[in-house]
């Protein structure tokens, strides 16, 4: 079953330290034919290149209306940038934060 949602804030963190802030984001599940899991596309601000270049994994937090979702240990290889655009392709279920 396909699923999609959008939001206006989130973050990538490394050991509790902010690596970047997501100003807007769109999260969609991927079909099994495309590898399954999910894909996030968003706009990044407040990027800290030190952590973005050195981290092996990130914690991703997406803020929802009254709660937030968090994925731990998202591999750095799953995160890509094109200017301020960020794309994350990963698997796994979020936990409530």
Position 24 pLDDT exceeds 60: yes
* pLDDT tens-digit readout, 49-86: 999 999 999 999 999 988 899 999 999 999 999 999 99
Strand partners, 45: 21
Answer yes or no: are the C-beta atoms of 17 and 47 closer than 8 Å. Answer: no
Q: Write out the H or E segment, with its range, that includes residue 49.
A: helix 49-54
Residue 91 in tokens: 């698997």
Report the alpha-carbon distance of residue 28 to residue 26 in Å, rounded. Answer: 7
Other Cβ atoms less than 10 A from the Cβ of 11: the count is 19
pTM equals 0.88
User: What is the token pair recorded at 68?
Assistant: 């937030």
């Amino acid at each position: 079953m396909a699923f999609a949602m959008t939001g206006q804030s989130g973050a990538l963190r490394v050991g509790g330290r902010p690596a970047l802030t997501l100003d807007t984001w769109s999260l969609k599940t991927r079909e099994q034919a495309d590898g399954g899991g999910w894909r996030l596309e968003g706009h990044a601000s407040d990027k800290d290149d030190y952590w973005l270049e050195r981290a092996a994994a990130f914690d991703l937090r997406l803020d929802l209306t009254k709660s937030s979702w968090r994925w731990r240990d998202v591999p750095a290889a799953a995160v890509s940038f094109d200017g301020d655009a960020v794309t994350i392709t990963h698997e796994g279920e979020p936990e409530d934060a």
